[in-house]
Structure formats: structure tokens, C-alpha cells
Structure 1
Amino acid sequence: MQVSIEASEGLNRQLKVIIPSADYKKARRKEFVMISKNRKFPGFRPGHVPANIVEREYSAEINERTLSTVINNSVLDAIRESKISNVEFDSVPVVGNITFNGTDHDLVYTLEIEVKPEVNLEKDLASIDIEKV
């Protein structure tokens, strides 16, 4: 997984996340196996359904579930890998601009997160005049 950081307006940051096609294929295979074992197909024993039938019937669902799983699992890893230390975890990261052109290409998406403001306390406090009321 590759992560690049771009500054947005204010306290927002955009992370561009690239997930290799091999990782996507691995997750898709896992979803495929789970569906083929847990769904009932007339005329077949559970878990013994030909792959082409499962693919034909559930291809859209497998793709949707795989995409959702891969993105959800990679969000926290992307934040950790970007080494942004002041991430605001109270707000939910927003995923946008998903680019995916089939299983032979990498999955690319942008993640928008909000960071906490940086406070610099390196100023010499002895030079500040304070009035007591």
C-alpha cells in the first residue's frame, strides 16, 4: 500500500491511497470462497458449486463486498503509514474518488481526514507580561 499526503484547506488533509491489485485479488478470492461455501445452489452440495456458476450469479456482490472490505481495512493502516500524529479520531474519515479498473489494476482512492491544530509552546513565557486583576 502506498500513501501520499496532500494539504487541503484548513485542518483537512487528503491521503491518496494505492492498494496493489494482488491484495485486491487475495481479498476477492476470500469473499468468493465464503460465498461459494455459504450459499445454497439447487442441485449442488454446499461448497461443491462450480466456480463459473458462483461467478455468474454473485459477481456484482463479490466485487462490492471486496471493495468495501479492502477500503475499510486499509483506512487505519493508511493513517498510520502517513505518520500524521495529530489525527482527529472523533470525526469519521471520508472516502472519495475511488478509481478501480478491474482486478488487473491497482485500487486508488482518496481519504479526507481532519487533523487537530498544532500548538507551539516554544515561546519564552518569561518575556510575557501578565496583569493580575
Structure 2
Amino acid sequence: MKKALIGAVAAGLMLTASGTAVAAWGTPIPDLTSAGVRFSEGEYKLHGPTSNHGAFEWKGRLTDGNGGDGHNVYVHVRVEGHDWLKYYGKQRRSVYMHHSNWDGAQRYTSEARIRACRDRGSFHPDNCSHEQAYFQDRD
């Protein structure tokens, strides 16, 4: 009886600890919204020099908020002042994204920016959410 009770308590502690580890993956990104696009459930990590190339790692759900308009949506990410990178979603759908961005010439990413946009074609400017900027200084 005691062994069964101890085993049950140990299993409960392991499940609790693993649930806490999953829930505490990274720092939340506030919802990024603009007309026709939404990036939600976002989280990010700014890795140190010895982990994951020192990358800006991010994840979240990109949603086409106006499926009938014929426009696609994307997440725009910029690290260390380089050009913006586009990660396209799907028209009329919601997709989960998880990516890492870094500058290979540096030990870690000290500046990263992210925003969500709707691609309105070549004749109209894209509309984007406000950008979120994240910084770290490890030196």
C-alpha cells in the first residue's frame, strides 16, 4: 500500500513538473492585429551565446482575419538591423508557426522586431500591426 501511494505521488509530481515546463516555454508576445490579420498565442526567447545560435526564437498562430478579401497574411521578422523576413500563412486559414532567426556573424541576437501584415498586392501598401521590439544585452 505504501509503495503504491509513493509511486502515485511521484508520478503526480513528474506530471506537474512537466506541465509547468511546457507552460513556461518563453515570454508572451502581445497579440499583433491589423485589418485582416492576427498573430496570437505568441511567445519568444532570446537565446544566449551557447544556445540555438543565440537566436530570436518565436512561435504563435497567424490568422487570416478576412478570408473573403483574396489577400494573404504573413509575419515580418527583423534581427540586428538586417532586412525584414516574411513567413507567409495561408489564405482563409489559421496556421501555427515556430521559427528561429539570427545573425551568423554575432554570438547572440541583441535586437529583434516582429509584426503581422496583410499582403495587399503590388498596387496597395501592405497593412501591418504595430511592431514589437525585443532587446537583450549580455556583455
Compute the TM-score of the two structures, normalised by the length of structure 2: 0.25
Q: Which is richer in strand?
A: 2
Compute the TM-score of the two structures, normalised by the length of structure 1: 0.25
Q: Which has the higher contact order (CA 8 A, sep 6+)?
A: 1
Q: Which has the larger radius of gyration?
A: 1
